[in-house]
Structure 1
Amino acid sequence: MEHSTFLIADDIIYSILIMLRVKSLIRFQYVSKSWKNIIDDKIFRKVHHDRSKSSSSSKKSFLFATIDGVYEFRPFENPQVILIRQKFPLKRFQHVPTLGSCDGMVLLKSHLGYKSFALWNPYSNEYRIYECPYVKTYSCSTPHACGFCYDPYADDYKVILIYRSFYAVYSLIRNSWEKKSSVHVKELNVRSWDCSPGINTENRVFWSIEWKIHQLVGRNSKIIYFDVKSDELKELPKPDFIRENNQLYRLTSLKGCVGLFGGIISSKTFDVWIMEQHEWKLSLTVTCIHYVLCGPFVKNSVILVDATNHDEILFHIRTAESQYCAIYDLEHRFVKQINMFTNLRYYMVPIFSESLYFPKIDKKRKRLS
C-alpha cells in the first residue's frame, strides 16, 4: 500500500513539473533526489520539450551574448530583465557569435578553428563539438553560410554548411555527415571570411544569394532554401514586387512563415511581406524607426521576435557606431527604444522555445515516412 502511494505521489509530481518553465525546473531539481531524477530523465525532457514547442502560450526570449563570454536569457516582454546567465563550458566558444537557433539549442562557431562548431543547449548546458570532415585540417576555408533546423520527417536536427563548391549536412541524431553538390554554390566567390546565418522557419532555412550569401534581397538576388525532406538546396521564386534596382529587402521570419521587409531605398517607410499558402501577402507598412531611410534601416536591422503571440515586433539595429533594440507596437504604431548595449561586440539570437532537451546519438534511427 505504501509503495502504491509513492507511485501516485511521483505521478502527481511529474504532472506538475511537466507544466513548468525551464527556469523553475532548474531550481526544483535541487529540492530532492527524486525530483532531480524526474527532471534529468531523457524521456521527461523530450516530453517537456515537445509540449513547450507546441504550446501557443510558450514565452519567447532571446539569448544575449556579453563581452565577458556569458550568455544571458532575456524575455521579449522586458528585454532589460535577465532570466538566466550561463557560460559555455569550453573557453574557445565563450566569445563567439551565435549563428542560429532551433528549439532552444544554438549553433556556435569557434574563432580559433575554421572547422570547429558547437551545438549547445544553454538551459541544460549540454553541448556537442563537431568538425566538417570535408575541409582540410589546415584550411582557412570558412563556410559562406550556415543553417540549423529541425527535420520532422526523421525527428532529427540538421546543420547545413555551404562552401564554395559543395555543401555539407550534419545529422545530430545519427552523428553523421553527407557531402552534397548544388548549382547554386557554383556562383559564389572563391573565398569567404563571413559565415552568413540563414533564416530558420517552417522547418526550412532560407538565404539570399548573388555574388555572396546573406539575408539581403535585391533585384539580382535569388532566394534559396534547404529542404529537410530531400536534403537539397532549392530556389524560391523571387517575389514580383522586387523588380527595380532601387529596392532592398531583408529575409526574416514572421508569424511562423518566411517574410521580407524593405522597399525603395530612399523611402521613409518600409513594407512587411509574409508568404502564406505559397503567396506573398503585404502585412503592413511601417515608418522607418528614428526617421532613417529604408535602405540603411534594412541593411542594419534584424527582426528578432515577431508578433506571432504579441502585438509587437522587436528589432535589433546595429550600425558601425552603435546598436540598440526597438519595439514597434503594431496597434498604436509606437516605437520604444531600449538601450542595453555598451559594446558593439554583443550578439543576440531569438529563442522560440524553452527546453532542457538535447538529442542523443542514435545511428539506428530510421527516417520517418
Structure 2
Amino acid sequence: MASVILSPDLICEILRRLSVKDLLRFRCVSKSWCSLIDGSDFIKLHLSHSVETSTNLSIFLNRCREVNIYSVNIDSLKTAQRLEFPGDESNKGRGFVVLGSCNGLFVLLKCPNIPLPLFKMWIFKRNDELYLWNPSTRKSHMLPANEIGFTPQVFSPPHVWYGFGYDPISDDYKLVRIVQSFCLIVDFLESEVMVYSLKTNYWRRRKDFPFYVKDARLYSAVHVNNALHWEVSTKLVRNYENFDADFDVIAAFDLGTEEYYAIEYPDCLGERLTTITNVMGGCLCLVATYREVGVDVAVDIWIMKEYGVKESWTKIISVKTFKCFQAAPYVLPLLFSKNGDKVLLHVGGMLFFYDLRSKKADKVNIDDVPFLCHDVGTTVESLVPLNGNGAMFNNKNQHGGKTKRKNTERDDILSKRIHQV
C-alpha cells in the first residue's frame, strides 16, 4: 500500500487542534514532529487556536494551603482531575497558594506546615518560595530568591501583592511583586516594586507604586489588555500629578512599558461594601457588593466593553435577593457560557451558573472535589515552556539529563521505523 505524504502545513493544521496530552505523545512519532511541536511558532499557534476556539480550557480549584489543586474541563464541569504538584520530594504534602495564571502557566507560593493563625502572620512577613508551573507539561521552575529591600516600620508590617502576565511586545512572562508598608492614621506609605522576567530569570527594581493597594483578594492582580490591575486608593498618593483628591480607582501596570495608569469606576457605583475585579470574556470585570435596606446583600456585576473607556462600563447582572450571595465574602464571575446566556460565578467557595434571562442561579456540582474552593480561576492547557536560566525539572526526574538522551534515541528508532513502512 502506497504511503500518503502530508505537507508540513497540513500536519501543523491538524496538530494545532489536539490536546497537550496528545501532542506530548506525538512528539515520539519522529524527529521532525518533535521539533515542530517543541518549536516556539507552533506553541504560540496552538495556544492561539485554543483561546480563539475556547478549546482546552479548564477551571482550577484550590483551597489555600491545601495539598491538592484540581482541574475541571469547562465543556463538562462534571468531574475534576487532581494535578500533581511541581518539584522534588521536599514538596510532597506541602500546600500552595495560586498567585496567578496566564497561558497555562501558574505562579505558586509554597506554604509552610504551620497552624492557620501563624500562616496569616507569615503571609505578610516572608521571603517567598515561588514556583512557575505548567501542569500540562508537568514542568516547573523555582524562582530566584528576592528579599524585601526596605525595613518596614514597627507599626506597619509589610503587605505583599503579586501580578502575573504575558507581554507580547518582549515575548516574555513577567511576575510583579508590590510590597507596601503603610499606616492610614499617621499618613505613611512606603512601597517597593520588583519585576521578575522569565526570559532573563532575574528580578529588577522598578518605579515605586504610586497608590495605596486595597485589593480584597490580597494575592494576585487581574491580567487583561497586556496590563495588571489592582484596586487602589489615592488617599496616600505621593507626587502623582493626576490625582488631587482622595478616591478609589483601578490601577494598572503596563507589562510592555512598565508604567502605571488609572482606570475609573462607573459613576453610579455609590457607597458599596466591597468591589472585586476580574477578567471575563476578555474584558475587565467589576463586582460591587452593597448592603441595602430590606436586602441582606445586593450585587452588581459590570464589564468594560471597550478597555480604558469609562463610559463603556455596562451592568450585566443586578441581584437584590439571592440566598447564595448572603453569606459569601465576595462574588467572582469567571466566564460566559458558550452561547453567552449564562455566567459562571464563584460564590462562597461554590460554583453557580447564573441565567441572564431568567435571572436564576443553579449550583454546579463537581465530583471528586472534597472541599469548598478558595482559589478559583480559568486557565488553558498549553505547551508554553519554562525557559529561564534556572534549573527546570519535571515531577519524576529533577535532573533530566539521561531522560533527554533516551528520548532522543527513541525518536531515532521510531523515525526509522516510520520511514520503512
TM range (shorter): 0.7 to 0.9
Aligned match for 2:314, one of 246, 263, 282: 282
- Provide the residue aligned with 2:334 in structure 1: 304
Name whichever of 231-240 and 98-107 sits farther off: 231-240
1:156 aligns with 2:153: no
Q: Deviations over 1:137-170 (max 9, x none)?
A: 999x875210001112212111110002211111
The answer on whether the counterparts of 1:61 and 1:75 sit within 8 Å (CA) in structure 2 is yes
Query: Does structure 1 retain, via aligned residues, the 8 Å contact 2:346–2:376?
Result: no
Residue type at the aligned position of 2:231: S
Q: Is the 8 A contact 1:74 1:81 kept in 2?
A: yes
Runs (5+) with no aligned partner, structure 1: 213-218, 363-369
Find the aligned partners of 1:324 and 1:203 in 2 and give their Cα distance: 29
Whichever of the two has the greater Rg, that structure is 2
Counterparts of 1:132 and 1:224 in 2: how far apart (Å)? 27
Q: Which residue, out of 131, 140, 161, partners 1:118?
A: 131
State the 1:181 CA deviation: 3.2
Q: CA deviation at 1:356?
A: 1.4
Asked if structure 2 preserves the Cα contact closer than 8 Å seen for 1:101 and 1:349, the reply is no
Give the whole-Å Cα distance in 1 for the aligned partners of 2:304 and 2:19.
32
Aligned equivalent of 2:323? 291
1:25 and 1:39 in contact (8 A); partners too: no
What pairs with 1:345-360 in structure 2 (closer than 5 Å)? 346-360=373-387
**Structure 2 regions of 5+ residues with no counterpart?**
113-125, 181-190, 237-245, 390-421
1:1-369 alignment to 2 at 5 Å?
8=6, 12-29=10-27, 32-34=29-31, 37-38=34-35, 41-43=38-40, 44-53=42-51, 55-65=52-62, 69-82=67-80, 85-90=83-88, 91-92=90-91, 94-112=94-112, 114-135=127-148, 144-164=160-180, 165-182=191-208, 184-185=210-211, 187=212, 195-210=218-233, 220-244=247-271, 246-266=272-292, 267=295, 269-277=298-306, 278=309, 279-287=311-319, 290-291=322-323, 297=328, 299-307=329-337, 310-318=340-348, 323-340=349-366, 341-344=369-372, 346-361=373-388
Give the whole-Å Cα distance in 1 for the aligned partners of 2:151 and 2:24.
41
Report how many aligned residue pairs link the two structures.
340
Q: How has the CA–CA distance of structure 1 residues 60 and 347 changed in structure 2, closer, same or farther, with 3 Å as cutoff?
A: same
On the 8 A contact 2:276/2:330 being kept in 1, the answer is: no
The residue that corresponds to 2:394 in the other structure is none
Q: Is the 8 A contact 2:303 2:316 kept in 1?
A: no
Displacement after TM superposition at 1:132 (Å): 4.7
Displacement of 1:78 in angstroms is 2.8
**1:104/1:354 contact within 8 Å kept:** yes
**Which secondary structure does the structure 1 equivalent of 2:268 belong to?**
coil
**Aligned AA for 2:142?**
I
Report deviation, 1:35: 8.1
How far 1:19 sits from its partner (Å)?
A: 1.9
Q: What is the CA–CA distance in structure 2 between the aligned matches of 1:251 and 1:236, rounded to whole Å? A: 12
Higher deviation after alignment, 5-14 or 61-70 = 5-14
Offset at residue 29 of structure 1 (A): 4.5
Q: TM-score with structure 1 length normalisation?
A: 0.77
Aligned-pair distance for 1:100?
1.1
